[in-house]
Structures are given as C-alpha cells and as structure tokens.
C-alpha cells in the first residue's frame, strides 16, 4: 500500500473506523469500547430507531450464544423486556410424516434462544451506544472516498457539517449487502437470487404458543412462526417471487388464510394480522473477508438465506470475534492479524452459508420421492439423544472458535 507524499502515516493506535451503524456495526462498536479501543462509528441514518434501515419490522430469532454476547455487551438489559424465550422448536415438512422437536428441557437449558423484534434490538443498541466512552459517532454521515496511506486509510466522510477527513489503521465494512467498503476494496461477491420473497407480520392465535417456534417447509418455501411476549406470534412466510405482488395486495382475511394454509393448524385458528412487509431473498458472499488494513463483517461479508434465522447470529459472531482479536492489539490492522481473523471465521461462515442454501434446495425443492427420507432423518434426530443434543447445540450457536464473550455465563 503506497502512501501519497502529502499524506501522513497513520498511527497504529488511532481510531478504528466502522462504516455501518446497523445491528452488527453497533455491536462491534460497543465491544471495542468495552475493551478501551477508540473507534469511530459512521452511521448513514440519524441515531433514531425509526430511521435505521436495519431496525425494521422483522422478528429476530436470537440463538442462546447471541444473547450471551448481548448480555456481555450490556445490551440485553435494555432489550429483555421485549423478548420471548424459545423453549421448543418444531420442524416439519408439508406432506411428510416425520417431524422434529428440539426442546430446551431435553437440552438442559431454560431456553434455546429468544425472539426479539429488530426494532427493539435497535433501540437497545442505541441506548447502550450512548454510554460508550471511547467511541466517536458520525451520524448521519456517509463514506465518499477512501485512499490508502502508510499504515492505514485516509477517509472522507460527508456529514451534516460538511466534508470531514479521518485517518485509521483499520477500516471495517459493516455496511450491509450492498457494501460500499467492499466495492472500494475491490472485493468481488457471488450473488444468488432465490426468486423468493419473504413476508413478515404478526398474528393472534387461538391456542397459546407456550414458547414454541415452528419451521415448516413447503415446495413454495418455508414458513416460520415465532413466539412473541404479548401472546402474539411473528410470521415469516416465504413465497415465489412472482406471487409477491399478489400477496402484498391481499386483504387481511385472504392473507391470514394463506398463512393458515401454509402453516397448518398447530396453533388453531390464526387471526388479527398486523402490518406485513415483503423482502426479496438473495444471498451474497464476499470473495474474501479482508483487504489491506480492512475487514468485512455481517452482511457486507455474507448475506444468507433467512431460513433458520442465521443472519444476525452469524454477523454478531463476526463482530465479537473481531473485537476479541483486534481490541487489545498494538496494531489492529496488521496483515497477519486480519488473516488469523479470516481463518478463524472460515469454517463457521462456510458451514452456515452452505447449510442455509442446502436446506432450501434439498427440503423445499426436492423431488417428492425424497419425502420419506427427510421424514426418517427428522425422526432419527428426534429419537436419538446424541443427535438431538448435537442439533440443539448447533441451533443454540455453540461451535468451534466461538468468541469467549458468547460462551455460557457462569454464576
């Protein structure tokens, strides 16, 4: 990386710059602040939950290890009142006889995870950001130029006060699927359009959910129902892209009937649908996680199919692993350090992306004759304790290389 003659060398202890103030970027900023590492958080929107694009109407299924991490960050105390524990996950395939129940009690824990509205998590992160001491926030602001200099990057930010310049030894791209940082680094990405649209809404149910979550696979795509703390349920309905416009225009009665047809009668009659929102589904995988004195996290690094609700869980593991590795480093942008980060994240990242993709291809789009095989597989996992425990731990987020901040809290 060649420095221009008029540009100074960046000090290794200068502020880390995080571009992107969404759920993952904010979590990383808080984690670095806890470690005493100065950082700048560049947020495209003003710091209000109603203006942050990632603080939308989705209901997030947070794994157990994700909540462990949010507790360590001091975020969960602001969010817990809006969360509902998931005590059981029921997995089935339409037209097949087998099903799988993953139970918290059988796994030896009080909850496998928690359901939390994205807006509630966004508010909690904003509250926690206000208490950060080493963090400098630029909001609203956007990155308009990035030039390599000796020991780091020279960045130009467009802010409400005008153009501002900053130097950083490490540039972090946490700016989402259409990452400007990734483009500036010249890192390509592999994109796949699933030809599906995901609709989210809330509904009332005739029978209480009792902390159960459902994932039901159909040829047209999965439908998930998540427990919410007010007794309502969050619905995640996936439909072929060509049906999206029609579904968006349905009245409430017709929409709830479509959900009932796809989900079934596990909760009795569904009613009172809330606002619905549609999101086209596509995956995006960066060709690599790092550039010279730069790194990608969250959706900038990988955007996965929402089946299994792994997006934020995976992104938080990125953020907390990066903070753990660079937070106390003498020089956070060293090539060897960033390569070690990429290596540590490789297996989790690849396994999560592949499992999400394969699940859609093998379960939703599989030939009819494979139904009995899928049923048998679900039954085996359900009946064999060893397999059940392994699947439960995977669902709770436990895996090799997990950041220490996401391990189980010990009383």
Write the DSSP string, 364-397: ISS-GGGHHHHHHHHHHHHH-HHHHHHHHHHHTT
Burial level of 270, CB count in 10 A (0-12/13-18/19+)?
Answer: buried
Geometric angle at alpha carbon 44, from 43 and 48, rounded to 5°: 75
Indicate whether 236 belongs to any domain: no
**What would the mean pLDDT of 306-315 be, rounded to a whole number?**
86
Indicate whether 365 belongs to any domain: yes
Which residues neighbour 140 within 8 Å (Cβ) at sequence distance 6 or greater?
43, 44, 45, 46, 159, 160
Q: Rounded mean pLDDT of the chain? A: 89
Local confidence band at 144 (pLDDT 50, 70, 90 cut-offs): very high
Domain count across the chain = 1
Identify the pLDDT of residue 219: 81
Q: What percent of the chain has pLDDT over 70?
A: 87
Residue 383 pLDDT > 80: no
Let me know how long the chain is: 411
Indicate whether 397 belongs to any domain: no
Could you list the residue range(s) of the whole structural domain that residue 185 is in? 16-84+117-191+287-369
Indicate whether 90 belongs to any domain: no
Identify the pLDDT of residue 379: 56
Indicate whether 345 belongs to any domain: yes
Which residues neighbour 83 within 8 Å (Cβ) at sequence distance 6 or greater?
62, 67, 114, 115, 116, 120, 229
Residue 225 pLDDT > 60: yes
Q: What is the pLDDT of residues 318-368, one digit of tens each?
A: 999 999 999 999 999 999 999 999 999 999 999 999 888 777 766 555 555
Task: Give the residue from 76, 72, 108 showing the smallest Cα distance to 406.
Answer: 72
Q: How far is CA 81 from the centre of its chain?
A: 20
Indicate whether 227 belongs to any domain: no
Burial level of 246, CB count in 10 A (0-12/13-18/19+)?
Answer: exposed
Indicate whether 391 belongs to any domain: no
The position carrying tokens 């048998």 is 376
Q: What is the pLDDT of residues 90-131, one digit of tens each?
A: 988 876 666 788 899 999 999 999 999 999 999 999 999 999
Pair type for strands 233-240 and 223-227: antiparallel
Residue 370 pLDDT > 60: no
Indicate whether 394 belongs to any domain: no
Residue 69 belongs to domain with CATH number: 3.50.50.60
Identify the pLDDT of residue 409: 54
More confident residue, 371 or 164: 164
Identify the pLDDT of residue 177: 96
**Lowest-pLDDT range, 23-32, 120-129, 373-382?**
373-382
Q: Token digits for 119?
A: 């807006």
């Amino acid at each position: 990386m060649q420095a221009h003659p008029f540009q100074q060398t960046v000090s290794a202890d200068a502020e880390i710059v995080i571009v992107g103030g969404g759920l993952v970027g904010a979590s990383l900023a808080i984690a670095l602040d806890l470690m005493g590492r100065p950082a700048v958080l560049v947020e495209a929107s003003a710091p209000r939950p109603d203006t942050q694009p990632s603080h939308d109407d989705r209901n997030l299924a947070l794994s157990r290890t994700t909540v462990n991490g949010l507790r360590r960050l001091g975020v969960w105390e602001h969010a817990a009142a809006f969360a509902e524990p998931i005590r059981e996950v029921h997995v089935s395939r339409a037209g097949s006889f087998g099903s799988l129940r993953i139970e918290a009690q059988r796994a030896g824990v009080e909850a496998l995870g928690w359901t939390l509205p994205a807006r509630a998590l966004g508010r909690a992160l904003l509250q926690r950001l206000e208490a950060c001491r080493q963090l400098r926030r630029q909001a609203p602001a956007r990155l308009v130029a990035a030039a390599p200099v000796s020991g780091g990057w020279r960045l130009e930010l467009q802010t409400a006060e005008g153009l501002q310049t900053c130097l950083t030894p490490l540039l972090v791209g946490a700016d989402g699927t259409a990452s400007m940082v990734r483009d500036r680094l010249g890192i390509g990405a592999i994109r796949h359009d699933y030809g599906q649209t995901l609709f989210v809404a809330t509904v009332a149910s005739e029978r209480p959910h009792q902390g159960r979550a459902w994932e039901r696979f159909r040829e047209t795509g999965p439908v998930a129902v998540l427990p919410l703390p007010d007794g309502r349920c969050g619905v995640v309905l996936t439909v072929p892209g060509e049906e999206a416009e029609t579904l968006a225009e349905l009245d409430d009665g017709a929409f709830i009937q479509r959900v009932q047809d796809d989900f079934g009668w596990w909760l009795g009659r569904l009613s009172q649908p809330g606002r619905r929102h549609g999101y086209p589904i596509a995956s995006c995988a960066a060709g690599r996680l790092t550039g010279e004195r730069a790194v990608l996290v969250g959706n900038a690094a990988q955007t996965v199919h929402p089946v299994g609700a792994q997006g934020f869980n995976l992104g938080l593991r990125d953020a907390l692993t990066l903070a753990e590795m660079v937070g106390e480093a003498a020089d956070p942008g060293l090539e060897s350090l960033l390569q070690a980060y990429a290596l540590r994240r490789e297996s989790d990242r690849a396994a999560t992306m592949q499992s999400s993709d394969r699940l859609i291809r093998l379960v939703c789009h599989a030939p009819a004759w494979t139904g009995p095989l899928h049923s048998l597989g679900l039954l085996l996992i359900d009946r064999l304790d060893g397999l059940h425990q392994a699947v439960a731990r995977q669902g709770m987020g436990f895996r090799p290389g997990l950041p220490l901040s996401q391990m189980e809290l010990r009383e």
